[in-house]
Amino acid sequence: MTRHRLSAATLSEARPQTARPAYAREACRVGWVHFGPGAFHRAHQAYYAERLLCRDPRWAISAVSLHSAAARDALAPQDYLYCLAELAERPRIRVIGALREILLAPADRPAVFARLVSADTRLVTVTVTEKGYCLGGAGQLDVEHPDIAHDLRAGAAPCSVIGFLAEGLRRRRAQGLKPFAVISCDNLPNNGPTLRSALAAFAAHTDDRFSRWIESEVAFPRTMVDSITPATDAELIARVAAASGLEDAWPVQREPFTQWVIEDLPAVRVADWASVGVTLTADVAVYDRAKLRIVNGAHSTLAYIGLLRGRATVAEAMADAPLAGFLERLLREDIAPSLGGAGAFDVHGSIAATLQRFRNPSVRHQLAQIAWDGSKKLPVRLMPTVAEALAAGRPLERLAVPIAAWMRFVIARVRAGGVLNDPAAERLLALGRDCDGDARRDVARFLTLQDIFAPPLAAAPALVRALVAAYRALGSGGQLGCE
């Protein structure tokens, strides 16, 4: 059977069960710029924009890719339409029309700045992963990062998201336009203020007054985002084509659960967020901390231990009874106490819901994908809980296991040929090559990584003992050692 490619011209051919944009797409205008149009953005923020557009035509998105042309090349022939598959027992397919364009930053800088300076642009969102912010170990701007060093050179065309945001804001200020709100949707602790600090530090290198203006006039709300979004694969592409009746070069998928919490600041109230299910609150921190520790911390735990135990997906890892039992004890007995100040937030209810979400057999979330960028994820997903447990005198035995599993994961990549998807890959692989299997010596080598293990942690005898014991146990086929 011949199928047509998804596009504005063929959209009417979609099968009746496929949801289509419920608004006049041609009547919408761009009011939202997004950096990082990967799968998560297209399954999450663009989904909320899609719902907003049903009520308000001002929220079409201009997306900016900092490096890769892949999304633009896949979606441009489709008029930037794509399918979102919600992975329930009976998957639901909807066509998302919120994207107006995808600009490739190196080639389309004038167009990017035209969008950033447009009076219609009220929001700029960012999903560039933790490493895209070019931060050092203390969470401050790393001025020696190659992209930041480049962008700070006089007359340089920006290449980092920090550089683009700073230049866009500088041009708006010069033209007397109000700044747009900048909304980080990445898993950074205190993500809004962290991004503000990085931008202000960048601006201070050339203009103190501009830096102070960023600090005082630009809104950087804290946010929390949550929805499991497995990578697109050939199986999804085939499934979407069969269900929709149209070929889509790059559909995306996610679980039915989705959440977006934004700090309630005046500059954010430009859209009717409540009408599309976004939570505005004065206290994002409790949601953010719980998500980082419960959902993201659990994901990393499953990834590193599950891969050692021969599992491929989150659902497969949750079907491994010893691993699932270990994870539940870790969450309820070790991570929950670190969230004791959560107020009205239902910590144990959130844990129960998370474990249920992870068991969804329709979501094939690859552990190998979750394991990427461990050097950036561990410091925000697991190490704060470890530091608090150490300070409070709570047990460390279970908390040490996912960290030791990450160490084993790095060494396994060395033995598999030295391929590691991590911004610190070269350093980690070199360290892994030096490991000889002796638990004490190997753990001591990893503890020299100060970006991950702050010196007080690396020197704490209780943590060292727990890591050595966990590392030794995991060397025997992924045995947990404290099941």
CATH (domain of 366) = 1.10.1040.10
Same domain for 79 and 162, yes or no, is yes
Inside any domain, residue 210: yes
**Residues 437-451: what's their mean pLDDT?**
96
pLDDT at 342: 60
Of the chain, the percentage scoring pLDDT greater than 70 comes to 98
**Residues 429-451: what's their mean pLDDT?**
96
pLDDT tops 90 at residue 55: yes
CA dist 72 and 6 (Å) reads 15
pLDDT confidence of 1, banded at 50, 70, 90?
low
Same domain for 400 and 258, yes or no, is no
Same domain for 162 and 35, yes or no, is yes
CA dist 148 and 97 (Å) reads 34
Same domain for 301 and 273, yes or no, is no
- Residue 238 has a CB neighbour count (10 Å cut-off) of 11
pLDDT at 337: 94
Same domain for 368 and 462, yes or no, is yes
Provide the residue range defining the domain that includes 412: 285-474
Same domain for 231 and 299, yes or no, is no
CATH (domain of 101) = 3.40.50.720
The dihedral sign for the CA sequence 175, 109, 122, 35? negative
**Residues 78-99: what's their mean pLDDT?**
94
Tokens 């300070």 belong to residue: 391
pLDDT at 91: 83
CA dist 189 and 211 (Å) reads 22
**Residues 335-339: what's their mean pLDDT?**
93
Q: What is the H or E stretch that residue 377 is in?
A: helix 374-381
Last residue of a domain, one of 281, 299, 326: 281
The dihedral sign for the CA sequence 227, 232, 237, 239? negative
Per DSSP bridges, beta strands 259-263 and 223-226 are antiparallel
Half-sphere exposure of 241 (CA within 13 A, CB side): 15
Inside any domain, residue 482: no
pLDDT tops 60 at residue 438: yes
pLDDT at 345: 79
Cβ burial of 15 (10 Å; 0-12, 13-18, 19+) is: exposed
Inside any domain, residue 248: yes
Inside any domain, residue 481: no
pLDDT tops 90 at residue 341: no
Inside any domain, residue 264: yes
pLDDT tops 60 at residue 483: no
Inside any domain, residue 82: yes
Inside any domain, residue 480: no
Cβ burial of 174 (10 Å; 0-12, 13-18, 19+) is: exposed
Same domain for 155 and 21, yes or no, is yes
3-state secondary structure of 224: strand
Cβ burial of 187 (10 Å; 0-12, 13-18, 19+) is: buried
pLDDT at 232: 94
Inside any domain, residue 363: yes
Mean pLDDT of the chain: 95
Report the chain's terminal Cα–Cα distance, integer Å.
52
**Residues 117-145: what's their mean pLDDT?**
94
CA dist 373 and 188 (Å) reads 13
pLDDT at 288: 85
pLDDT at 364: 87
Last residue of a domain, one of 281, 309, 327: 281
Query: For 453, left (φ over 0), alpha (ψ -120 to 50), or beta?
Result: beta
CA dist 421 and 362 (Å) reads 26
Last residue of a domain, one of 281, 310, 333: 281
Q: How many domains does the chain have?
A: 2
pLDDT at 478: 67
Tokens linked to 8: 């504005």
Same domain for 356 and 294, yes or no, is yes
Same domain for 275 and 293, yes or no, is no
Same domain for 297 and 442, yes or no, is yes
Tokens linked to 183: 């909304």
CA dist 291 and 357 (Å) reads 13
pLDDT in tens, 382-424: 999 999 999 999 999 999 999 999 999 999 999 998 789 999 9
Same domain for 178 and 292, yes or no, is no
Same domain for 208 and 297, yes or no, is no
**Residues 333-347: what's their mean pLDDT?**
83
